[in-house]
Amino acid sequence: MPTRPSRRPRLERLWRGDPKPIHHLLAFPLRGAAGIFRGTLAARNLWWRWRASEAGVPVISIGNLTVGGNAKTPFTLFLAMRLHARGLRVAIVSRGYSGARNSASATLVSDRGEVILDPALAGDEPAMMARRFTGPIAVARRRIGAIELLRSRGPLDVIILDDGFQHARLRRDLDLVLISRERGLGNGWMLPAGPMREPLSALRRAAAVVIVSADATLKSALSAAQLARINQGRVFTAALHPQSLISVANGNWCESSPSLTGRRVLAVSGLADPAAFHAMLRDLEADLVGVLDFPDHHPYTAADWQEIASAARDVDLIVTTEKDLVKLERFPFARDSLYALRLEVTMPEADARALDELILARIRSSNAGAAAAQEVSRDAR
Are 48 and 166 spatial neighbours (Cβ–Cβ below 8 Å)? no
> Among 161-170, 171-180, 189-198, 284-293, where is mean pLDDT lowest?
189-198
User: Is pLDDT larger for residue 369 or for residue 255?
Assistant: 255
Average pLDDT, the chain: 90
**What is the per-residue pLDDT across 291-332, written as a single tens digit (0 to 9) for each?**
999 988 899 999 999 999 999 999 999 999 999 999 999 999
pTM of the model: 0.91
* Total residues belonging to the chain: 381
pLDDT score, position 95: 87
pLDDT tier, 29 (very low <50, low <70, confident <90, very high otherwise): confident
For the chain, the domains span 53-240+346-367, 242-344
Assess whether pLDDT exceeds 60 at residue 21. no
Assess whether pLDDT exceeds 60 at residue 105. yes
Nearest to 358 by CA among 207, 189, 254, 188: 207
pLDDT tier, 6 (very low <50, low <70, confident <90, very high otherwise): low
Average pLDDT over residues 27-48: 87
**What is the per-residue pLDDT across 235-270, written as a single tens digit (0 to 9) for each?**
999 999 999 999 999 889 999 999 999 999 999 999
Assess whether pLDDT exceeds 90 at residue 374. no
Nearest to 343 by CA among 76, 119, 60: 76
Are 296 and 272 spatial neighbours (Cβ–Cβ below 8 Å)? yes
Is beta strand 235-249 parallel, antiparallel or unpaired with respect to 252-256?
antiparallel
Average pLDDT over residues 175-188: 93
Fold of the domain spanning 242-344: Rossmann fold (3.40.50)
Average pLDDT over residues 121-149: 94
**What is the per-residue pLDDT across 31-41, written as a single tens digit (0 to 9) for each?**
888 889 899 99
pLDDT score, position 8: 53
Q: Domain 53-240+346-367 sits in which CATH superfamily?
A: P-loop containing nucleotide triphosphate hydrolases (3.40.50.300)
Assess whether pLDDT exceeds 90 at residue 282. yes
* Fold match, 53-240+346-367 / 242-344: yes
- Phi-psi sector, 296: left (phi>0), alpha (psi -120 to 50), beta: beta
Assess whether pLDDT exceeds 70 at residue 204. yes
pLDDT score, position 25: 64
Give start and end residues of each alpha helix (H) in 69-165. Answer: 72-85, 119-122, 124-130, 143-152
Report the percent of the chain where pLDDT is more than 70. 89
Q: What is the Cα–Cα distance from 309 to 286, expressed in whole angstroms? A: 19
Assess whether pLDDT exceeds 60 at residue 7. no
Give start and end residues of each alpha helix (H) in the chain. Answer: 11-15, 21-51, 72-85, 119-122, 124-130, 143-152, 224-230, 275-283, 302-311, 322-328, 349-380
Q: What is the Cα–Cα distance from 125 to 212, expressed in whole angstroms? A: 19
Report the percent of the chain where pLDDT is more than 90. 70
Average pLDDT over residues 274-287: 94
pLDDT score, position 136: 97
